[in-house]
Structure 1
Amino acid sequence: MAGGACVICASGDLLDGGDGIRFTVTRPTGEEPAFVVRHGGRVRAYLNRCAHVPVELDWQPGRFFDSDRRYLICATHGALYEPGSGYCFAGPCKGRTLVPVEVEERDGGVYLVG
């Protein structure tokens, strides 16, 4: 998905603290997996890559939140990330952040920007 704004999903597909939607972004290094979730009423998107080592976060496709649905969690390392900022506050990559992906929500959809 490159150029302009590409639709990722319908706004209604993302419930607050619910499952995320996986998608792919085109970067200078090639295609990379990413995901979008809703938390605190806002959509947030990041590359689907732990800040510790480059493994995907979700323990099952689209499952990015911990059992309390408060934080993003790396299924491999147990690192916990703040959904709003991508900041890791617990785990082997404490102090690092997920790589954000620019998205916008409008007209009933969630769009990749860029």
Structure 2
Amino acid sequence: MAGTQRLICPSDAVREGEDGVRFSVTRVTGEEPAFVVRFRGRVHAYLNRCAHVPIELDWMPGRFFDDERLYLICATHGALYEPESGRCVAGPCRGRRLLALSVEERDGMVFLVDE
């Protein structure tokens, strides 16, 4: 049986090399901020929470990438995360990961799967 799905945004709202799209997810603890970005042609979604200290990554809404657009960055601590895996490669939480969310892109839309 197919899992539950919820529309996040149109695919063209998540552009390569540009800001991410913020949205929220419902968890046991309540509503939590999340985001989706496009990197190397694929969409990736994570809870918007640094692996070092549970604060949001973006310094301005949707600004998740570093200046070179190669890594996701925590605006507070400077931790750098790989966009494809969420693994921290530099900073105080090296080796830890962002909490990935399952997303699917089809028919010109991005969906959250099994919220």
Q: TM-score normalised by the shorter chain: which range applies?
A: over 0.9
Separation of aligned partners in 1, 2:18 and 2:105: 17
Separation of aligned partners in 2, 1:11 and 1:36: 10
3-state SS, counterpart of residue 7 of structure 1 = strand
Separation of aligned partners in 2, 1:17 and 1:29: 32
Separation of aligned partners in 1, 2:17 and 2:8: 18
State the Cα distance separating 1:4 from its structure 2 match.
Answer: 2.0
Separation of aligned partners in 1, 2:70 and 2:85: 13
- Fraction of identical pairs, as percent: 70
Separation of aligned partners in 2, 1:60 and 1:66: 12
State the Cα distance separating 1:18 from its structure 2 match.
Answer: 1.1
State the Cα distance separating 1:38 from its structure 2 match.
Answer: 0.2
Separation of aligned partners in 2, 1:35 and 1:14: 10
1:20-73 deviations in whole A, cap 9, x for unaligned?
000000111111110000001000000000000000000100000000011000
Separation of aligned partners in 2, 1:90 and 1:24: 26
Q: Which residue identity does 1:7 align to in structure 2? A: L
Match of 1:76 in 2: 76
Q: Which residue identity does 1:5 align to in structure 2? A: Q
State TM-score, norm by structure 1: 0.96
Structure 2 residue ranges without an equivalent (≥5): none
State TM-score, norm by structure 2: 0.95
Pairs aligned (count): 112
Whether 1:18 and 2:22 are equivalent positions in the alignment is: no
Separation of aligned partners in 2, 1:45 and 1:69: 16
CA-based RMSD: 0.9
Separation of aligned partners in 2, 1:30 and 1:100: 17
Q: Which residue identity does 1:6 align to in structure 2? A: R
